[in-house]
């Protein structure tokens, strides 16, 4: 975007018809006197690759929730059996 594609067009060895169609699509000339736009630097955060360790840490931290769910499920399953 915003660059001269003449060299690329010539490298592709287009036909005479393509050259005629190119004239219709030309919307202007590239201003080469303008200042260059500096390229943006892309920064990325270092992503941790130690996912198994993170999973173990989460399991240790949140062990009470699954334990409570299992405990409540067992109690709910046993209560109807005791009433018989």
Q: Which of 42, 47, 44, 34 is nearest to 2 (CA)?
A: 34
Residues whose CB falls within 8 Å of the CB of residue 4, separated by 6 or more in sequence, listed in order: 30
- Stronger pLDDT, 64 or 29, i.e. the higher one: 64
Domain count, the chain: 1
The pTM of this model reads 0.31
What is the CB neighbour count within 10 angstroms for residue 35? 5
Highest-pLDDT range among 4-8, 39-43, 73-77: 73-77
Tell me, yes or no, whether 64 lies in a domain: yes
Q: Residue 65 is part of which domain span? A: 51-82
Tell me, yes or no, whether 28 lies in a domain: no
Tell me, yes or no, whether 17 lies in a domain: no
Tell me, yes or no, whether 6 lies in a domain: no
Tell me, yes or no, whether 22 lies in a domain: no
15-48: per-residue pLDDT in tens?
A: 888 888 878 887 777 677 776 777 888 777 776 6
């Amino acid at each position: 975007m915003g660059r001269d594609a003449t060299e690329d067009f010539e490298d592709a060895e287009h036909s005479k018809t393509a050259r005629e169609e190119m004239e219709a699509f030309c919307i202007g000339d590239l201003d080469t006197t303008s200042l260059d736009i500096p390229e943006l630097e892309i920064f990325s955060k270092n992503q941790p690759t130690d996912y198994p360790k993170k999973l173990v840490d989460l399991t240790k931290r949140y062990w009470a929730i699954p334990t409570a769910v299992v405990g409540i499920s067992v109690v709910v399953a046993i209560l109807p059996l005791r009433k018989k």
